Amino acid sequence: MAHGFTQVFSEDYYDTFSPVAKLQSFRAILALAVCFDWEIESFNFTSAYLNGKLDAEEEIYMQPPPRYEGQGPDKVKRLRKLLYGLKQAGCKWYDALLHALANLGFCTMQVDPGVFVAYDQGHILILVIHVNDCTFTGSSAKLIFTYKEKINDCYVLTDLGPISWLLGIKITRNHKERTISLSQSSYINSILERYGLKDAKPYAMPMVLGVIYSRHNSPSTPTETNHMRHMPYQEAIGSLMYTAVAT
C-alpha cells in the first residue's frame, strides 16, 4: 500500500480518472439478458490495481516497508508496477484492461466506457466492468465461458458463477417467468444499524410536510453544537442516495 496522499501532481502523477459502468447500464443489460433468456455470469479480478504498469518516463520512488530487505535511511525503491494507494492506480488499471480486452476483440461502448461488446460467430457478448467487479452476458453461454478463460489468461480472476450479488445489490432471477429482482434490503438494514435508526418509526415521506426549517433551528448552545458535531448527517444522506440511484 503506497502513501498516495504524499504524491505531488505533475511530479508523481497526472491522470487519475478511471471510468466505471453506470448503474443504469447494469440495469439495462440485466433486463436485456432476461428478455432474451441469456446467461448472466459474474467474476472479479484478483488484486486488480497490481496489474497496472507505470510508463517508462514515470519515476516514483518509495521508502521500503518495515523489515524489507535492504531497508535503511538512505534506501529507496523505484516502482515498476502499481500499488494500491497510488493516485493513478485506477486509471492505469483501466488502461491495461482496455488494451487486453481490445486484443480479445472487445470494443468500448461510446455511451458508457465501462461497457464492452464483442461479436463472435454471429453472437454478441457484453461485459460490464465496475473497477474489478464484472458482469458478463451474451447470446452464447459457450462463448461466455470461453472468453472468461481468455480474460483469465490475461489477468487472474475469481469466477463467481451465475450472478447473485452486484455492488452490494442482491439479484434474484426467475428463468421460467423471465423476471429479475434487485434488492438492497441488507444494505438498508446495515445503514439503519450504523446510524442508530434501527428502531425508528417509518414515515411515508422523507420530511414532514409543511415544516420550514431555518437557521433558528441550528444549535444555539455549546452543548447542542458539540452534540451535533458528532452526528454523521452527511454520511447518512450519502448512504441513502446510493439506494435512491441504485434500486
Minimum mean pLDDT among 70-74, 149-153, 154-158: which range? 70-74
> What pLDDT sits at residue 42?
95
Give the domain range for residue 193: 186-246
Number of domains the chain contains:
2
Same domain, 97 and 159: yes
Is residue 174 in a domain? no
Is residue 115 in a domain? yes
Last residue of one domain, picked from the residues 105, 139, 167: 167
Structure letter (DSSP) for residue 202? P
pTM: 0.82
Residue from 155, 168, 123, 158 nearest 141 by CA: 123
Same domain, 128 and 39: yes
Same domain, 150 and 209: no
> What pLDDT sits at residue 69?
72
**Largest distance between two CA atoms of the chain:** 72
Same domain, 154 and 233: no
Is residue 232 in a domain? yes
CA dihedral 159, 163, 165, 169 (to 10 degrees): 140
Give residue-wise pLDDT tens across range 170-189. Answer: 999 999 999 999 999 999 99
What does the pLDDT average to over 39-55? Answer: 91
Same domain, 199 and 154: no
Structure confidence at residue 202 as a pLDDT band (50, 70, 90): confident
Structure confidence at residue 70 as a pLDDT band (50, 70, 90): low
For the chain, the average pLDDT equals 90
Same domain, 115 and 207: no
